[in-house]
Amino acid sequence: VKEKTEQYEEVDEREKKPNYEQRKWEEEQMSSAVFRFGAKEKEKQQQEYDLIMESQIEFIQALSLPGNKEKTEPEISEAQRKRMTIEETQKSLPIYPFKEDLINAVKEYQILIIEGETGSGKTTQIPQYLHQAGFTDGGKKIGCTQPRRVAAMSVAARVAEEMSIKLGNEVGYSIRFEDCTSERTVIKYMTDGTLHREFLSEPDLNSYNVMIIDEAHERTLHTDILFGLVKDICRYRVDLKLLISSATLDAQKFSQFFDDAPIFRIPGRRFPVDIYYTKAPEADYIDACVVSILQIHATQPLGDILVFLTGQEEIETCQEILQDRVRRLGSRIKELVILPVYSNLPSDMQAKIFHPTPPNARKVVLATNIAETSLTIDNIIYVIDPGFCKQNNFNSRTGMESLVVVPISKASANQRAGRAGRVAAGKCFRLYTVWAYKNELEDNTVPEIQRMNLGNAVLMLKALGINDLVHFDFLDPPPHETLVLALEQLYALGALNHHGELTKLGRRMAEFPLDPMMGKMLLASEKYKCSEEIVSIAAMLSVNSAIFYRPKDKLVHADTARRNFFVVGGDHLVLLNIYKQWSDTDYSTQWCYENFLQYRSLKRARDVREQLVGLMQRVEMDLVSNPTEHVNIRKAITAGYFYHIARLSKGGHYKTVKHNQTVMIHPNSALFEDLPRWVVYHELVFTTKEYMRQITEIESKWLLEVAPHYYKSRELEDSTNVKMPKVMGKTKAELG
Ligand code: CDP
Ligand code: MG
């Protein structure tokens, strides 16, 4: 057991981050770090910056030191002052001089393409302008879609603040599993996925006067499908105004797609950005980020730093290392305010990135791609770009989806650099070589529709009565194989009949904002009389941030706590066990803390569960509980995820049944030491190897029961279901 434990530790650590620990931070390292500023150049830049920064610092001081102002304007209240600065900000935005022109253009044309640099005020101002111009009269809404949840929430909050109203009244947002709108809401921000779902209940979008498809350049799967849907609607709802808003140069392409709609350009205001490259490739870009941040902080004039990382884990690692080094440097450096931002961050923490930087301090924002175009953080002067992002990829041959870290495109790199030049001349530090930029980066990011599983999208379109998907009006069509595969999968799940029409089951599946496999699992739980248990499992699986908390200094305790939740059968049952125990404590925070569980993740699971239960009632599903019927629970899971089956082969490796691909059990799995012969997995993640995550042991004969169309008994031949001889000594059960 010991040997294995060590191995597990090692795999786990390697996956997370390479060896940062040995590195000792010394002051002189600052000069030997990634970027060297020549003394002369530094002096010149220093002077330039001093000039620019002087005005900026004054501005910041004026904002954050009310005492200074109060002496001269004592009669102005705090609230009034805030309003004034909001008004001033609004008027300073590049879009402001075009307010009247824009309103007139919307009145004149049904469809308008809007192009303007990130930060020009498209997302926050246009809905307000149209609201003021009377487009919400009679209680009709202005909708605005965002590709990301965080953006929808934070932008709605900002607009509510600008209009001095409470979020959720006239201005609200709606994202999956969370609706913050009311009867009074007339400006509604939502994710593109949410609008997609709204089509199901309101196919003509009748409650809207205006629909804005924002951040169109991001080309998410949902946005791409919306293009086809809204274009179609505009033909018979001539009173609906449609705005397609984009930050980059795709406007021409959008215009062509929307029958040559006019393009409204908002001239950008951009300061020059100097771009620096590393001399040699960086082996460890997180460390390179930390070094660069500190070097900028030590040598460069004030101004905030924006760093682009690929995800929550990387951000947290970087934050930890940075905090540690800053602590050790103590008073030798100025104050550095470190702020993370990623989609699962709670909204109060997100809001912090918009607060003004304290005087004489510097803010460093560690962000995912979200800060590339969706969120505008003011006063960024320095950008650090390691050149990677996390991307969803789908292999239509194997039907496998994976989330992988890939190099960004040139278009992305330029967007990122642009973030440094919004308020003053800026600098962008690319942690890759100029050669890599020129030769290794693609020009543009491939739109999601061409690299994602279309199961969910196809189910939605079918539910909208769109049967001929091959001739659907796509801006860029998805690969034919991907479309066919999605249809096949829905057929195997029983959502489509052999004419490709939606079945009764399919219609019910479409009611849930879930992947078709998860939807099927949920609906199958009715038959297996365990819907209470399955809905908890579905909710826990939907929480895509970590459930377990593993602080570096308490790894052993944390892992012991995690093991204490292990039950025979696998990870799905572990999730259920955690949820049940937590609800038995009446959803205690303390209990989470004691058991090294992330309270926020569990709380989110609880919210998601509540939403799902509501939807189950809508499709008239009974909530039935059978907590001890583990076989039934596992069968219901298999009924949804029979595409995700792997069987043990030689050497402790697994092979997927349909495509014979080699996959491994994730080291965090409860089954890591068990090696059952047959498993169903929730997802594959590719890190150093292809890992299955959230795994449950099954019996192969169940596959014939739950998916008779899909599995033939000869494929499941060695289905003895006898476990392989144990590699290690004890089983989970024996370990207790
Ligand atoms: O959509 P676009 O990129 O053109 O700009 P925007 O998102 O409307 O942002 C315009 C301005 O609003 C930014 O420069 C920020 O000053 C401000 N803003 C904010 O303070 N807080 C937010 N959550 C969003 C925007
Ligand atoms: Mg925007």
Note whether 428 and 420 are within 8 A (CB). yes
**Ligand 1, atom 21: closest residue by C-alpha:** 158
Comparing 38 with 482, which gets the higher pLDDT? Answer: 482
pTM over 0.90: no
Nearest listed ligand to the Cα of residue 216:
2
Query: What's the confidence (pLDDT) of residue 277?
Result: 92
Q: Is 376 in the pocket of ligand 1 (CB under 6 A)?
A: yes
Atom of ligand 1 nearest to the CA of 116: 4
Compute the distance from residue 124 Cα to the ligand 2 centre, in Å.
7
Q: Is the confidence at residue 47, as pLDDT, over 50? A: no
Compute the distance from residue 296 Cα to the ligand 1 centre, in Å.
26
Q: Is 154 in the pocket of ligand 1 (CB under 6 A)?
A: yes
Atom of ligand 1 nearest to the CA of 422: 14
Helix locations, 115-166, DSSP H: 122-132, 149-162
Q: Residue 650 is encoded by which pair of tokens?
A: 């030689």
Comparing 552 with 66, which gets the higher pLDDT? Answer: 552
Q: Is 303 in the pocket of ligand 1 (CB under 6 A)?
A: no
Note whether 199 and 229 are within 8 A (CB). yes
**Site to substitute for ligand 1 among 376, 378, 415, most atoms within 8 A of C-beta:** 376
Confidence of residue 40 (pLDDT cuts 50, 70, 90): very low
Q: Is the confidence at residue 65, as pLDDT, over 70? A: no
pLDDT digits (tens, 9 = 90+) for 187-197: 999 999 999 99
Query: What's the confidence (pLDDT) of residue 718?
Result: 60
DSSP sequence for 169-206: SSEEEEETTEEE--TT--EEEEEHHHHHHHHHH-TT-T
Nearest listed ligand to the Cα of residue 355:
1
**Site to substitute for ligand 1 among 158, 265, 347, most atoms within 8 A of C-beta:** 158
Q: Residue 197 is encoded by which pair of tokens?
A: 């779902």
Compute the distance from residue 354 Cα to the ligand 1 centre, in Å.
10
Mean pLDDT over each residue of the chain, to the nearest integer: 84
Q: Is 158 in the pocket of ligand 1 (CB under 6 A)?
A: yes
Q: Is 96 in the pocket of ligand 1 (CB under 6 A)?
A: no
Query: What's the confidence (pLDDT) of residue 727?
Result: 39
Q: Is the confidence at residue 663, as pLDDT, over 70? A: yes
Confidence of residue 312 (pLDDT cuts 50, 70, 90): confident
pLDDT digits (tens, 9 = 90+) for 5-30: 333 333 333 333 332 222 223 233 33
Mean pLDDT of 631-650: 95
Query: What's the confidence (pLDDT) of residue 60?
Result: 27
d(CA 701, CA 720): 9
Note whether 37 and 45 are within 8 A (CB). yes
In terms of Cα–Cα distance, which of 63, 239, 15, 198 is closest to 188?
198
Mean pLDDT of 352-373: 90
Q: Is 519 in the pocket of ligand 1 (CB under 6 A)?
A: no
Q: Is 246 in the pocket of ligand 1 (CB under 6 A)?
A: no
Look at 195-204, 266-275, 489-498, 501-510 and tell me which has the smallest mean pLDDT.
Answer: 266-275
Which residues are CB-contacts of 424 (< 8 A; sequence separation ≥ 6)?
A: 52, 53, 56, 271, 303, 381
Note whether 438 and 137 are within 8 A (CB). no
Query: What's the confidence (pLDDT) of residue 638?
Result: 97
d(CA 245, CA 212): 7
Q: Residue 234 is encoded by which pair of tokens?
A: 């505009």
Query: What's the confidence (pLDDT) of residue 483?
Result: 92
Q: Is 378 in the pocket of ligand 1 (CB under 6 A)?
A: yes
Q: Residue 636 is encoded by which pair of tokens?
A: 């219901």
Nearest listed ligand to the Cα of residue 218:
2
Confidence of residue 124 (pLDDT cuts 50, 70, 90): very high
Beta bridge partners of 213: 145, 244
d(CA 236, CA 244): 18
Confidence of residue 399 (pLDDT cuts 50, 70, 90): low
Compute the distance from residue 565 Cα to the ligand 2 centre, in Å.
43
Atom of ligand 1 nearest to the CA of 120: 4
Comparing 76 with 542, which gets the higher pLDDT? Answer: 542
Atom of ligand 1 nearest to the CA of 215: 1
Q: Is 682 in the pocket of ligand 1 (CB under 6 A)?
A: no
Name residue, tokens 């001929």.
Answer: 468
Confidence of residue 635 (pLDDT cuts 50, 70, 90): very high
Query: What's the confidence (pLDDT) of residue 190?
Result: 98
Mean pLDDT of 643-670: 90
Mean pLDDT of 288-310: 94
Q: Is the confidence at residue 71, as pLDDT, over 70? A: no
Q: Is the confidence at residue 479, as pLDDT, over 80? A: yes
Compute the distance from residue 185 Cα to the ligand 1 centre, in Å.
21
Q: Is the confidence at residue 4, as pLDDT, over 50? A: no
Q: Is 121 in the pocket of ligand 1 (CB under 6 A)?
A: yes
Confidence of residue 281 (pLDDT cuts 50, 70, 90): confident
Compute the distance from residue 155 Cα to the ligand 2 centre, in Å.
8
Could you give the dihedral angle defined by the CA atoms of residues 161, 162, 164 and 169, in that order, rounded to the nearest 10 degrees?
Answer: -70
Q: Is 124 in the pocket of ligand 1 (CB under 6 A)?
A: yes
Which residues are CB-contacts of 719 (< 8 A; sequence separation ≥ 6)?
A: 678, 699, 700, 701
In terms of Cα–Cα distance, which of 460, 370, 441 is closest to 153?
370
Compute the distance from residue 153 Cα to the ligand 1 centre, in Å.
12
Q: What ranges make up the beta strands (E) of 240-386?
A: 241-246, 263-266, 273-277, 304-308, 336-341, 362-367, 380-385
Mean pLDDT of 74-101: 78
Measured over all CA atoms, what is the biggest interatomic distance in the chain, rounded to whole angstroms? 87
Atom of ligand 1 nearest to the CA of 245: 1
Give the count of alpha carbons within 13 A of 679, CB side only. Answer: 35
pLDDT digits (tens, 9 = 90+) for 132-175: 999 999 999 999 999 988 889 989 999 999 999 999 999 999 99
Q: Residue 442 is encoded by which pair of tokens?
A: 């693609």
Compute the residue count for the chain: 736
**Ligand 1, atom 16: closest residue by C-alpha:** 378
Nearest listed ligand to the Cα of residue 146:
2
Q: Is 122 in the pocket of ligand 1 (CB under 6 A)?
A: yes
Name residue, tokens 């682009």.
Answer: 308
Compute the distance from residue 373 Cα to the ligand 2 centre, in Å.
7
**Is residue 374 classed exposed, middle or buried when 0-12, 13-18 and 19+ CB atoms within 10 A define those classes?**
buried
Q: Is the confidence at residue 214, as pLDDT, over 90? A: yes
Confidence of residue 253 (pLDDT cuts 50, 70, 90): very high
Beta bridge partners of 656: 646
Mean pLDDT of 540-562: 86
Residues at Cβ < 5 Å from ligand 2 ion: 123
Confidence of residue 74 (pLDDT cuts 50, 70, 90): very low
Compute the distance from residue 215 Cα to the ligand 2 centre, in Å.
6
Confidence of residue 310 (pLDDT cuts 50, 70, 90): very high
SS3 284: coil
Nearest listed ligand to the Cα of residue 153:
1
Look at 247-251, 369-373, 678-682, 697-701 and tell me which has the smallest mean pLDDT.
Answer: 247-251
Note whether 495 and 502 are within 8 A (CB). yes
Q: Is 155 in the pocket of ligand 1 (CB under 6 A)?
A: yes
d(CA 508, CA 495): 9
Confidence of residue 625 (pLDDT cuts 50, 70, 90): very high
pLDDT digits (tens, 9 = 90+) for 554-593: 889 999 999 999 999 999 999 999 999 999 999 999 999 9
Query: What's the confidence (pLDDT) of residue 25?
Result: 30
Query: What's the confidence (pLDDT) of residue 52?
Result: 34
Phi-psi category of residue 399: left, alpha or beta, with phi > 0 → left and psi -120 to 50 → alpha: left
Note whether 367 and 415 are within 8 A (CB). no
Q: Is the confidence at residue 682, as pLDDT, over 60? A: yes
Query: What's the confidence (pLDDT) of residue 373?
Result: 83
Helix (H) and strand (E) counts in the chain: 28, 21
Q: Is the confidence at residue 681, as pLDDT, over 50? A: yes
Which residues are CB-contacts of 373 (< 8 A; sequence separation ≥ 6)?
A: 118, 215, 217, 218, 247, 415
Query: What's the confidence (pLDDT) of residue 526?
Result: 95
Atom of ligand 1 nearest to the CA of 214: 1
Query: What's the confidence (pLDDT) of residue 164?
Result: 95
Atom of ligand 1 nearest to the CA of 155: 23
Confidence of residue 419 (pLDDT cuts 50, 70, 90): very high
DSSP sequence for 396-431: TTTTEEEEEEEEPPHHHHHHHHHGGGSSS-EEEEES
Compute the distance from residue 127 Cα to the ligand 1 centre, in Å.
13
d(CA 22, CA 27): 16
